[in-house]
Amino acid sequence: MYLTRKSLQVGWDWKKVKDFTFWKRPNGNIMNLIYDIEKPPAKVLDLGCGVGRHTVYFSSIGYDVSALDISKEAVRSTKEWLKEEGLEAQVEQGKMTELPYPENNFDLVIAFNVIYHAYKHDVIKTISEISRVLKPGGFLFLTLLTKDPNIPFYGEGIVDEQTIIKLEEPEKGIPHFFFKLEDVFEFFKDFEFKDLYYKEWYSPPITIDRINKKKGSGHYILFAQKT
């Protein structure tokens, strides 16, 4: 399985997640997007919605929200949370490379820690699909894995110089594609960049040794507008 390049799109096994505290809390940068995008009832796509934190957030403030995830468990959890809150959104199971939406449909697409979970060619196809379903002038907010190019991968699960397949739960068996900076500009050439910044994040327990072990691996965070 690790050596195939045809396609490998696998969702998180949410049943293996022990603590949902982080995954139930909307990201602050995404919450602040309301100051830059169209006002409700503008249409938002939460691509790779997980258990629904951003779907619930945008629905709660009046946006017309669609949500998609490859995981059946994620779709079920998102629908249950919406029901508990008395909110509505269109939640579907599906692949990010085959978005079930018409062209020029959304004012905003968010994909938080999502599109890099695939081989390179599927990542490129996903970006094409996002562009297709975004309205002209629509916005995109997403995160992209990256690493210091001087730090090679080591250990098991290596596919190539930019791709590994995780061996740990809840991401076991899922490809992770790491963007070079030039990839960002090439793959998103049809977008005008509004913000692009780099972030390294360290989970508790936070120690010098743990930081040094992970340093050089982080995320590009991109906010862009379809031209």
Per-residue pLDDT, 193: 98
What are residue 106's DSSP bridge partners?
134
Domain 14-226 class, CATH top level? alpha beta
pLDDT digits (tens, 9 = 90+) for 126-158: 999 999 999 999 999 999 999 998 888 877 899
> For all residues of the chain together, what is the average pLDDT?
92
Local confidence band at 8 (pLDDT 50, 70, 90 cut-offs): low
Stretch 40-50: mean pLDDT, rounded?
Answer: 97
Q: Where are the domains of the chain?
A: 14-226
Gap between the Cα atoms of 116 and 26, Å rounded: 20
Per-residue pLDDT, 7: 62
Gap between the Cα atoms of 15 and 28, Å rounded: 25
Gap between the Cα atoms of 180 and 215, Å rounded: 16
pLDDT > 70 in the chain, percent: 96
Per-residue pLDDT, 4: 46
More confident site: 78 or 213: 78
Local confidence band at 15 (pLDDT 50, 70, 90 cut-offs): confident
Is residue 45 scored above 80 in pLDDT?
A: yes
Q: DSSP readout, 71-134? A: -HHHHHHHHHHHHHHT---EEEE--TTS--S-TT-EEEEEETT-TTSS-HHHHHHHHHHHHHHE
Is residue 85 scored above 90 in pLDDT?
A: yes
Q: Which of 63-67, 177-181, 201-205, 216-220 has the lowest average pLDDT? A: 201-205
Per-residue pLDDT, 153: 85
Per-residue pLDDT, 69: 96
End-to-end Cα distance, the chain: 38
pLDDT digits (tens, 9 = 90+) for 188-199: 999 999 999 999
Is residue 76 scored above 60 in pLDDT?
A: yes
If you count DSSP H runs as helices and E runs as strands, how many of each does the chain have, helices first?
6, 10
Stretch 198-217: mean pLDDT, rounded?
Answer: 88
Local confidence band at 204 (pLDDT 50, 70, 90 cut-offs): confident
Stretch 2-14: mean pLDDT, rounded?
Answer: 63
Per-residue pLDDT, 6: 66
Phi first, then psi, for residue 61 (nearest 5°) are -110, 15
